Amino acid sequence: MRAAALGREQELLAAYQSVIAARPALAPHLSLLAADKAVHVAALGTPGTATSTARTLGQLRLLEQSAAAAHGAAAQRASRNLAPLLASLAAASASAAAVL
Amino acid sequence: MSESSVLGELLAAEHAAIFGYGVIGAHLDERRRTMALSAFDDHRVLRDRLVQRMTARGIATPGASLSYEVPVTTPGSAVQQAISLETGVAVLWHDLVASTDNADLRALAVHALSDAAVRATRWRQAGRLTPLTTPWPGQA
- Is B90 a residue whose pLDDT tops 90? yes
Count of other CB atoms within 10 angstroms of residue B70: 20
Per-residue pLDDT band at B6 (split at 50, 70, 90): very high
Residue of B nearest to A35 (CA): B135
Chain A residue nearest residue B124, CA to CA: A99
The string of pLDDT tens digits covering residues B31-63 is 999 999 999 999 999 999 999 999 999 999 999
Of B104, B96, B22, the residue nearest B64 (C-alpha): B22
* Per-residue model confidence (pLDDT) at position B29: 95
Considering CB atoms only, which of A33, A83, A98 is closest to B122?
Answer: A98
In chain A, which residues have their Cβ closer than 8 Å to the Cβ of B39? none
Cβ-based burial of A51 (10 A; exposed 0-12, middle 13-18, buried ≥19) = exposed
Q: Which residues contact residue B14 at a Cβ distance below 8 angstroms, ignoring those fewer than 6 apart?
A: B43, B46, B47, B50, B89
- Residues B102-129: what's their mean pLDDT? 97
Q: Domains in chain A: how many in total?
A: 1
Range of the domain at A27: 2-99
User: What's domain B3-126's superfamily in CATH?
Assistant: Ferritin, core subunit, four-helix bundle (1.20.1260.10)
The CA-based angle B131-B137-B140, given to 5 degrees, is 105
Q: What is the pLDDT along chain A (100 residues), one digit of tens a residue?
A: 989 999 999 999 999 999 999 999 999 999 999 999 999 999 998 877 888 888 899 999 999 999 999 999 999 999 999 999 999 999 999 999 999 9
What's the pLDDT score for residue A46? 81
**3-class DSSP state for residue A91?**
helix
pLDDT category of residue B136 using cuts at 50, 70 and 90? very high
3-state secondary structure of A40: helix
Domain boundaries, chain B: 3-126
- Indicate which of B89, B94, B97 best probes the interface with A, i.e. most A CBs within 10 Å of its own CB: B97
Q: What is the ipTM of this complex?
A: 0.94
